[in-house]
Structure 1
Amino acid sequence: MKVAIAFLLDHKIHNFMRSLAVDIHRQYPLGFSAASALPHISLKQPFPIADLAEVEAYFEQLAASIPPFKVELTRLELQTYAGQSRGIAPTKKAEWGILWLAVRENPVLRNLHRRINRELGERFENTRAAFDGEAYRFHATLFTGEQNADLYREAFAAYKDTPINLSCTIKQIALFYKNNDSADVRDFITYKILPLK
């Protein structure tokens, strides 16, 4: 079993992201595996768990301790990774990509990322996940891993100047869950959504 924790984006950004994804996919068929989850900003990357009820109890305490806050999405970005899936994308290709909307770094997000990693590490075993830590870049994923990186590069070149001046107040947090250890993002369900305090 694995879980991940994320903030859900509002309906305006949800609709923008889905419209942009469909538009890009029509010209560059990158696949819709990232659309299996609601548009979100990941706060804690997937990590293995032994007991869902214990993690759920932590998640409920966490949600009750966070007031709503504002986030800004600023531009389209491409990340490519060579020779490995890093446990995120269902691929065996030599190089794969992620196309995302960058989220402007702010102290609330960074401090919550630190806090969650610290608190989970104190309560549970083996909670470290790929990309955790100070280098983690906050983002909202449009596409990930289904095609080779060259197609991602082509799509990014065509859409990189798309205006992305979006903001919203984060009001909900989600717990994503899957009952296996596969790297396929489509195996996750949105297990629980809670309002921020």
Structure 2
Amino acid sequence: MKATIVLIANNEAENYGKKLMLEAHKAGNLGFEMARLPQHVSLKQPFSIPDLVQFEEFFDQFAKDIKPVAVKFKEVTIHPSKVLGYPSGCMSISAVKSVELTDIQNNLFWRLEERFGRCPAEHDDDYVFHMTIAIGGAPYVNYEKAFIEMKKKDYQKAFVFDRLGLLYYDDDSIKPGTYFCYKVAEI
């Protein structure tokens, strides 16, 4: 099993992200796989956890120690992705790497290692903060088609992320239908 901790968007950002999801779908027939999760900015990519009960305890304590954070977005990006087990794409809105986001992430990494030992995940060293609006559901060529339309928009907006989410992955290969937002905490 895997898990991760994410910053969850306030209602304004959630609605914005869902609107972009629909627009991207209409432009490229991308589907709505991303609708399975709330709009969020990950603090770490999914990683193996030893026990959900222990990890939930960790999550609860971590949530008590952080505050809401404003996230500024920059631009739409796409890249090929096989995260769901088949070739497809991922469309995201990249975020400015702020001191606040970096501090929360560094604190999470330090506390995870202190409690559970090494918890490696993809992109631990080169993670780019972002909010995903589409993943999987279509060939990459559809993502390229949608990107042509979506890049015409202005994404320079800021939103408050005022909740923390615990995402749970029952299948280590992250197949569709095997993951969801298990728990949410106000921060």
The 5-angstrom pairing of residues 88-167 of structure 1 reads 88-91=83-86, 93=87, 96-125=88-117, 127-133=119-125, 135-167=126-158
Gap regions ≥5 residues in structure 1: none
Q: 2:174 aligns to what?
A: 183
Q: Which moves more between the two structures, 59-68 or 72-81?
A: 72-81
- Residues 1:171 and 1:48: Cα distance change in structure 2 (over 3 Å): same
Quick one: which amino acid aligns to residue 42 of structure 1? S
Q: 2:61 aligns to what?
A: 61
User: The residue matched to 1:56 in structure 2 has which SS?
Assistant: helix
Q: 1:35 aligns to what?
A: 35
Identity %: 27
Q: 2:72 aligns to what?
A: 72
Q: Matched residues in 2 for 1:156 and 1:78: separation? A: 7
Q: 2:49 aligns to what?
A: 49
Q: Matched residues in 2 for 1:59 and 1:24: separation? A: 32
User: The residue matched to 1:77 in structure 2 has which SS?
Assistant: strand
Q: Matched residues in 2 for 1:184 and 1:4: separation? A: 16
User: The residue matched to 1:146 in structure 2 has which SS?
Assistant: coil
- Residues 1:186 and 1:75: Cα distance change in structure 2 (over 3 Å): farther
- Residues 1:115 and 1:126: Cα distance change in structure 2 (over 3 Å): same
User: The residue matched to 1:151 in structure 2 has which SS?
Assistant: helix
Alpha-carbon contact 1:89-1:146 (below 8 Å) kept: no
Q: Matched residues in 2 for 1:125 and 1:183: separation? A: 23
Task: Give, in angstroms, the shift of residue 17 of structure 1.
Answer: 1.5
User: The residue matched to 1:50 in structure 2 has which SS?
Assistant: coil
Task: Give, in angstroms, the shift of residue 126 of structure 1.
Answer: 5.4
- Residues 1:43 and 1:185: Cα distance change in structure 2 (over 3 Å): farther
Task: Give, in angstroms, the shift of residue 125 of structure 1.
Answer: 4.9
Computed over aligned residues only, the root mean square deviation of the Cα atoms, in angstroms, reads: 1.7
The size of the alignment, in residue pairs, is 187
TM-score scaled by structure 1? 0.87
Q: Stretches of 4+ moved more than 4 A in 1?
A: none
